[in-house]
Structure formats: structure tokens, C-alpha cells
Amino acid sequence: MVIALKSYERGSFIRFFLIYTSVFMLMFIALASLYYFQERQRLFKEKRVEVMLAFNECKRINSLLQNEEICEMQSSRPDMSKTTETLLYTSLLTLIFTLGAGFILARISLKPVRDSVERMDSFINGIVHDINTPLSIVKLNAQSIARRLDDEKLIAKNRRIIQASEHIENLEEQLLFTLKIHHYELQKKKFDLFSKLQERQGYWNDLKTNINVNVIGERISVNADEIALLRMIDNVVINAIKYSKQDQNVTIELRGNELKVVDRGEGIKNPKMVFEKYYRESTKVDGLGLGLFLVYQIAIMHKVKININSQLGNGTTFSFDISSITH
């Protein structure tokens, strides 16, 4: 049975295979070269002895015939064709063996990693589902209570309970999406992206007080996986809200083939690292380090290009080239 490799396994498999094959082939080339030159030296010596014996015999015959010009000794090279042919055949067989052995060993070396990851995925999946039921009860009761409250302080406290519940729900969704991202199949359909962004605007504005999220631009129809694409945008916007300064706006702009998310936050120190799994710019802000990892994976699946323009202290702009899903 052929088991498809996940993306992280594919990278490890290729690295192991290349390292093993390269090291083995370098060792073989070194040994083959040593064998070739030793064999060449041996044949040279044998040829010299053979020529010297023939020359001495020739001289003896010359002396008997009293004619010194019948024979003369000339330098000659030994015939290396057989040795070269042997080395070529050996090299070909060694290459075939090395590739086969490398492939098998690489697959074997990945098995403990695969088993460990699968156990971890199963463990996380179980925890998420166990948390989901009590969390839903808390959120539903908080929403029910909110409709009956008239005290401003209690309303504010109740709102924080609902926001905290939604934050945990978002973390759950991140975890579950991460577990299935490597074998996720896109369910593409056409929909109005601008309308979806406007629908999410209220949710984003409720996430953090004194941070206003603006959605501007034009109506654009896209052909994409709605759940995955909105998850991608959600993660970038939520990240922008988290790191934004008080009383600053987050702007989402959709025009033509470009989607921009602009914030006036702290900026990103290492833009090249933000898409790494579990990477976090700051431990002061809640999160798992999965949000932007998922953004990158979903963008790859949709062939959407991402550009980050960030200045420390002045904010960050995420630009998405969505031409691949607008046509």
C-alpha cells in the first residue's frame, strides 16, 4: 500500500534521501578513483616489466645476429579499457543500489516521526472536542443572559465572557484546521468576497475595544474555498488587531486583484519567519503560533501570492495577489 507523504514529511524525506545519496556516492567516487589509479600503476609496472623482458630478449637476439637495429624499445601506455569498462558497470549498479537503498531507508526513518505526529494529532483532536461542549454551554448561556441584563457593568463583564469564549473557539478552529491542512481538499465555489468581509466586520470590531476595523473597496467575485479563504483573511485581521496600538484602525482594502490588510501596530521584526509553524513574535500576546502558518498554507493551496511590508513602530501591510482566484 502506498502512503502519500504530507508536506513536512516530504521535505524530511527529500533531505534525508539527498544527504544519504550524496555521501554514499562521494565515498564511492573516492574509492573508485583510488582503485582506478592503483590499477593504472599496477598495469604500468607490469607493462614496463613486460617491455624490459622483451627488450632484453631482443638485445640478446641482436647480439647473436650481430645486428643492433633489429629491435628497439619504445614507451607505450597500458590498455585501461577493461578497467574503465568495469568501473562504469560497477558505478551504474552502485547508483541503482544507492537510490533504492536511500529511498527505502528514508521511508523507514520517517515512520517514527509519522507515528509520533499521528499520536499528537489524535491527542489534540480529542482535547479540542472535549473542550468544545462545555465551551458551547458557557457561550450560549452568556448570550442568553446578555439579553436580560440592563446594568452596564454586568453587560461589559458578560461581553468579555462571550469574547473569551469566541477567542477559545478561534483557537480550536486553528488547531483543527492545522490537523487537516496537509490532506485538505479545496471545495471551490464562486462568491462575493467583499460581502463576506463586510459580514465579518462586526465580529472583528468586537474583538478589541478602541480598535476599529474598516472594510473598503469594491465588490469582487472569487472562485475559492470559502471556509479556507475566510480563515486565511480572519487570521491576518485578528493578528493585526492583536498587535495594533490603542485607538488605531485596521483597514481591509479589496480592489482589482489585490487584497490588503493594513495596521498601525508594532511592526514585524522577522517577516521571513512569521509563516513558520509555532513561530510567535511576542509571548506577551495570546496565541499558538499557528495563525500565519495556516495563512501561508491556504495561500499556497489557492496559488495566492503574499507580500509583507512592515516597519517597526509604524505597522504592517499584508498584500495578497488574488488574481489566481478572480479569473
pLDDT band per the 50, 70, 90 thresholds, residue 54:
confident
pLDDT digits (tens, 9 = 90+) for 125-157: 677 767 777 877 887 888 788 788 777 778 778
pLDDT band per the 50, 70, 90 thresholds, residue 1:
very low
HSE at residue 141, side-chain half, CA atoms within 13 A, is 7
Distance CA 149, CA 293 (A): 40
Q: What is the pLDDT of residue 2?
A: 42
Using alpha carbons, select from 250, 323, 240 the residue that is nearest to residue 274. 240
The three three-digit cell numbers of residue 47, written as one number: 607493462
Query: Does residue 170 or residue 215 have the better pLDDT?
Result: 215
Using alpha carbons, select from 196, 201, 235, 231 the residue that is nearest to residue 215. 201
pLDDT digits (tens, 9 = 90+) for 10-24: 667 777 777 777 777
Average pLDDT (291-303) is 90
- CATH code for residues 188-326: 3.30.565.10
For the entire predicted model, the pTM comes to 0.60
pLDDT digits (tens, 9 = 90+) for 94-136: 777 777 776 777 677 667 766 776 776 676 667 776 777 787 7
Spatial contact of 100 and 27, defined as CB atoms under 8 Å apart: no
Spatial contact of 67 and 58, defined as CB atoms under 8 Å apart: no
The three three-digit cell numbers of residue 127, written as one number: 482535547
